[in-house]
A and B are shown apart, each in its own frame.
Chain A
Amino acid sequence: MAILKIENLSYTYNEGLPGATKALDNVNLEIEEGTFVGVIGHTGCGKSTLISHLNGLTKPQQGAIYLDGKNIWTEYDNIRDVRFNVGLVFQYPEYQLFEETIYKDIAFGPKNMGLSDEEVDKRVKMAAKFVGIPEYALEGSPFDLSGGQKRRVAIAGIIAMQPRVLVLDEPCAGLDPEGRELILSQVKNYHQTTGGTVILVSHSMEDIANYADKVLVMENGTVYNYANTEEIFQDAENLSKMGLGIPDITKVFLKLKEMGLDIDTDVYTIPYAVKTLLKYKEKNGGGHNA
């Protein structure tokens, strides 16, 4: 059964006022437990509005969200239970740190869950390990850290709640390539170790292509496509027309096709590209004279 189900969800900002904008328009979606879902779309296509519905920060104007088949607003006693199950990491999460020590900040979520001190301690250490914060650093102030480190502390604060669904909104915004790589690989590692569901919102097709099992493409508040990563990139030409940056490697293959090569263009990672090229070579008898 799908862990999260979104049914006929619509949301309009400033309803009935000048400047009313439809952020979500009849969105239907099912997210299976254990998948790594990448969400991509233009600025203002409704990505952030959609994810703020997932843990009940925004109440749906129309439609409903189901967690484990139960409506999060009517069939749960407390919306906080939903929030502990669907952990949401906001954009620029480093600005929400407030405690004196890193340890205390990571412990804020688990403490709110009413866990015992030992359990909180265990979870804080586990979360810190996932994001690569050494244990001796935990007693330092979060405000002495660099931007990227602060962000990892903030992500650890959510991971420590051990949510079944981890939602990250642009976790790499404003980081250098090394920082991006670090955070994304840690998230991937978290996904593989715990087997939890991860939803990653990003502007970068490259990141999504490298990490996600399934991709949700959004356009103007609607679901443009939701499918496995390979299927999504079979449509690379249209994605490119929509103005979504496609991975560089996919661009190379699109160009090859344009130049008259009969080659698949659903390529989105380097290893896959190598495989496709080898297959092409085999099919065409190899050699440069093909």
Chain B
Amino acid sequence: MLKDITIGQHFPGNSPIHRLDPRIKLIVTVAYVVFLFLSTNAVGLALCIAAIPALYGIAKIPVKLLKKSLKPILPIILFTVVLNLFFITGDGAPLLQIWKIKIYMEGIMFCIVMVIRIICLISGTSLLTYTTSPIELTDGLERLMAPLNVVKFPVHEMAMMMTIALRFIPTLVEETDKIISAQKSRGAMLDSGSFTDRVKALVPILIPLFISAFRRADELATAMECRCYHGGKGRTRLKQLKITSNDIMCSVVCIVCFAVIFATRFFFTPLI
């Protein structure tokens, strides 16, 4: 059940995308999201959609995984669709009218575009975490945010917090699974009973989970101190990030793609 959560997971590999510099991957992902919302015409959106299977193909990430990561956001998609469908009003006559609810052509178009955007958004950002290990990811982020050090923003500490948080997601998920199994073995009612019963059934899970999270945090802090960790000042890196020819090539390809997507704005009529 909980094991199905794939968001934030890393799948090691050796594809060109895996080897790409994390800084470039981060920037490209952010740019992709921006352009996804900038493209309002059919061709631009089609290009954005086409990028997903192409990139997943290059990274050799199975499509099954993508399906799994999209499953949990299905309710969000449905919610957006329903909301937009009923509340967006158009200029012409409504296509359909049931009691006070009117559905317009514009509403339907907007829904389709929204669904495409949400799916592409999740797939695109998932690809980033699938192909980048948490350490690379935070390393890249730390480097990108380095200029903020000037205004005394604790960049390294933030990055370290993120690394630790990402690192412990799978551990805590596994722990939760174990505790749930243990309490189920003692007859806890987790999947049956009234609403209050179920809320009460959470107590035997949350208490051990919190206790173990605090215990882990404490142990980790001790372990870090034992290795003389004292914040970011004067820390050097084991792996230096270096821009290679592969990175430059990918950047050029991405810039061209983004330029094309942007250019479609001037040649095609927007859908919404």
* Interface residue A98 (Cβ < 8 Å from any Cβ of B): yes
* Interface residue A158 (Cβ < 8 Å from any Cβ of B): yes
- B97-105, B146-154, B180-188, B223-231 - interface stretch: B180-188
- A105-113, A129-137, A259-267 - interface stretch: A105-113
* Interface residue B72 (Cβ < 8 Å from any Cβ of A): no
* Interface residue B203 (Cβ < 8 Å from any Cβ of A): yes
* Interface residue B189 (Cβ < 8 Å from any Cβ of A): yes
* Interface residue B76 (Cβ < 8 Å from any Cβ of A): no
- B204-212, B249-257, B263-271 - interface stretch: B204-212
Q: Which residues of B contact A16 (CB under 8 A)?
A: 64
Which residues of chain B in 172-228 are interfacial with respect to chain A, using CB atoms and an 8 Å cutoff?
175, 178-179, 181-189, 203-204, 207-208, 211-212
Instruction: Check B187–A96 contact: CB distance below 8 A.
Output: no
Chain B's closest residue to A98 (CB) is: B207
Q: Which residue of the partner chain, among B64, B183, B211, contacts A17 with CB atoms under 8 Å?
A: B64
Instruction: Check B178–A90 contact: CB distance below 8 A.
Output: yes
Q: Which residues of B contact A55 (CB under 8 A)?
A: 185
Chain B's closest residue to A79 (CB) is: B184
* Interface residue A227 (Cβ < 8 Å from any Cβ of B): no
Chain B's closest residue to A15 (CB) is: B64
* Interface residue A191 (Cβ < 8 Å from any Cβ of B): no
A88 to B189, CA, bound (A): 16
A108 to B184, CA, bound (A): 11
Closest 3 CB pairs of A and B: A112-B187, A98-B207, A109-B186
A207 to B207, CA, bound (A): 33
Number of residues on chain B facing chain A (CB within 8 A): 22
Q: List 12 A-B contacts (CB under 8 A).
A: A18-B62, A57-B184, A83-B185, A96-B204, A97-B208, A108-B186, A108-B188, A109-B186, A109-B187, A112-B188, A158-B185, A158-B186
Nearest-Cβ distance from residue A199 to partner chain B, whole angstroms: 13
A34 to B179, CA, bound (A): 29
Instruction: Check A98–B185 contact: CB distance below 8 A.
Output: no
A143 to B207, CA, bound (A): 12
A31 to B65, CA, bound (A): 39
Chain B's closest residue to A19 (CB) is: B11
Instruction: Check B186–A112 contact: CB distance below 8 A.
Output: yes
A18 to B6, CA, bound (A): 14
Instruction: Check A57–B181 contact: CB distance below 8 A.
Output: yes
Given A57-B184, A96-B179, A98-B203, A112 contacting B189 (CB threshold 8 A): yes
Q: Which residue of the partner chain, among A18, A96, A113, contacts B183 with CB atoms under 8 Å?
A: A96
Instruction: Check A113–B187 contact: CB distance below 8 A.
Output: yes
Instruction: Check B212–A95 contact: CB distance below 8 A.
Output: yes
Chain A's closest residue to B188 (CB) is: A112
Q: Which residues of B contact A84 (CB under 8 A)?
A: 187
* Interface residue A148 (Cβ < 8 Å from any Cβ of B): no
**Chain B CB within 10 A, most for which of A97, A112, A143, A158:** A112
Chain B interface residues (CB < 8 Å from chain A): 11, 62, 64-65, 175, 178-179, 181-189, 203-204, 207-208, 211-212
A80 to B65, CA, bound (A): 32
Instruction: Check B181–A83 contact: CB distance below 8 A.
Output: no
Chain A's closest residue to B182 (CB) is: A96
A97 to B188, CA, bound (A): 13
Q: Which residue of the partner chain, among B11, B64, B175, B186, contacts A161 with CB atoms under 8 Å?
A: B186
Q: Which residues of B contact A143 (CB under 8 A)?
A: 211
Instruction: Check B185–A95 contact: CB distance below 8 A.
Output: no
Q: Which residues of A contact B203 (CB under 8 A)?
A: 98
Instruction: Check B185–A87 contact: CB distance below 8 A.
Output: yes
Chain A's closest residue to B206 (CB) is: A98
A157 to B208, CA, bound (A): 15
Q: Which residue of the partner chain, among B184, B204, B207, B212, contacts A83 with CB atoms under 8 Å?
A: B184
13 extra A-B contacts, CB within 8 A, seeds A90-B178, A112-B186: A16-B64, A17-B65, A57-B181, A80-B187, A83-B184, A83-B186, A83-B187, A84-B187, A88-B185, A93-B182, A96-B204, A108-B188, A158-B185
Instruction: Check B11–A18 contact: CB distance below 8 A.
Output: yes
Nearest-Cβ distance from residue A136 to partner chain B, whole angstroms: 24
Chain A's closest residue to B65 (CB) is: A17
A57 to B180, CA, bound (A): 10
A84 to B188, CA, bound (A): 11
**Chain A CB within 10 A, most for which of B175, B203, B207:** B207
Which residues of chain A in 68-84 are interfacial with respect to chain B, using CB atoms and an 8 Å cutoff?
80, 83-84
A95 to B181, CA, bound (A): 12
